[in-house]
Amino acid sequence: MNVSSIDEPLMDKSIADLILFEDNHILVVNKLPSQIVQGDKTGDIPLSELLKEYLRQKYSKPGEVFLGVVHRIDRPVSGVTVFARTSKALSRLNEMLKSREMQKTYWAVVKSQPPAYEAKLIHFLRRDEARNKANIVPEGTKNSQRAELNYRLLAKSDTYYLLEVDLQTGRHHQIRAQLAAIGCPIKGDLKYGFNRSNTDGSIHLHARKIEFMHPVKKEPLTIIAAPPSDSIWNYFLSVI
């Protein structure tokens, strides 16, 4: 089973408009960069609660609605986010994540040409909790984790380069840290070396595609999300 969104600009979207796939077991959403997946210290209403309210109203559900968060993407990042509507689906999807049976592909707009057209990056990351940042450290450093990704250059403009990134591991801020390490910080990502922020607080990192086996129906799913609407994303959509 292949499920793909139409590449239409994301602006002024309601919660229902963000849904890419929905059945009795899972809910897949195209997260906006302004949204947080789960509650945090900001006190802002998280996407998970907005989706629960959507389900409560759509299906006239009394009481508490179950919705499990399968994986999180950073607040300034947009794109595919998966939720489970049943505990069985949540358990199976979590196992798929651990065993790397869920393939995640990202798009990243960076300011510098990468050193190679395509390459595998392997680093060791240690999380700095106080600064909410991942630092690249030597192999064997205490509390470090191996991080792997593959990237390839998809397109370029006069100013920026569009990279497609296939994650092999799922570490905190992995793409942001690893691309910065090769001299390719993501547009708007001040934390990892870009020279200025985006006006809306986003960064140009987008969870473009996710591929996995449906946890109950055992059918392959491929779900693709359109990036947010701005001049840069719109340009790259027009040339690839």
Q: What pLDDT, on the 0 to 100 scale, is given for residue 34? A: 86
Quick check: is 2 in a domain? Answer: no
CA dihedral over 201, 205, 206, 212, signed as positive or negative: negative
Q: Are 188 and 197 in contact (CB under 8 A)?
A: yes
Report yes or no on 126 lying in a domain: yes
192 φ, ψ to 5°? -115, 25
Predicted confidence band of residue 6 (pLDDT cuts 50, 70, 90)? very low
Collapse the DSSP code of 224 into the 3-class scheme (helix H, G, I; strand E, B; otherwise coil) and give the result.
Answer: strand
Q: Give exposure, 122-151, as e/b (b: 16+ Cβ within 10 Å).
A: ebbbbbeeeeebbbeeeeeeeebbebebeb
In a domain, residue 7? The reply is no
CA dist 182 and 153 (Å) reads 14
Q: How many domains does the chain divide into?
A: 1
Segments forming the whole domain that contains residue 22: 12-239
The answer to whether position 5 is within a domain reads no
168 pLDDT band (50/70/90 cuts)?
very high
What pLDDT score does 7 carry?
52
Evaluate whether 150 touches 105 at the Cβ level (below 8 Å).
no
pTM: predicted TM-score of the whole model, two decimal places = 0.91
Mean pLDDT of the chain: 92
Whether 33 is covered by a domain: the verdict is yes
Q: Which residues contact 217 (CB under 8 A, 6 or more apart)?
A: 1, 25
* Range with lowest mean pLDDT among 1-5, 40-44, 138-142: 1-5
Separation CA 130–CA 149 (nearest Å) = 25
As given in the structure block, the two tokens for residue 138 are 């030597």
> Is the pLDDT score of 207 beyond 80?
yes
Q: Is residue 1 part of a domain?
A: no
Is residue 26 included in any domain, yes or no?
yes
Looking at the chain, the whole-number percentage of residues with pLDDT higher than 70 is 93
What does the alpha-carbon distance between residue 157 and residue 161 come to, in Å, rounded to a whole number? 6
User: pLDDT per residue over 92-112, tens digit each?
Assistant: 999 999 999 999 999 999 999
Kindly report which listed range (37-46, 113-122, 189-198) carries the lowest average pLDDT score.
37-46
The CATH number that applies at residue 133 is 3.30.2350.10
Q: Give the pLDDT band of residue 4 (cuts 50, 70, 90).
A: very low
Per-residue pLDDT band at 75 (split at 50, 70, 90):
very high
Summarised one tens digit per residue, pLDDT across range 137-159 is 999 999 999 999 999 999 999 99
Average pLDDT, integer, range 28-40: 89
User: Which band of pLDDT confidence, cut at 50, 70 and 90, is reported for residue 62?
Assistant: confident
Residue 109 in domain: yes
Distance CA 150, CA 107 (A): 12
Distance CA 177, CA 170 (A): 12
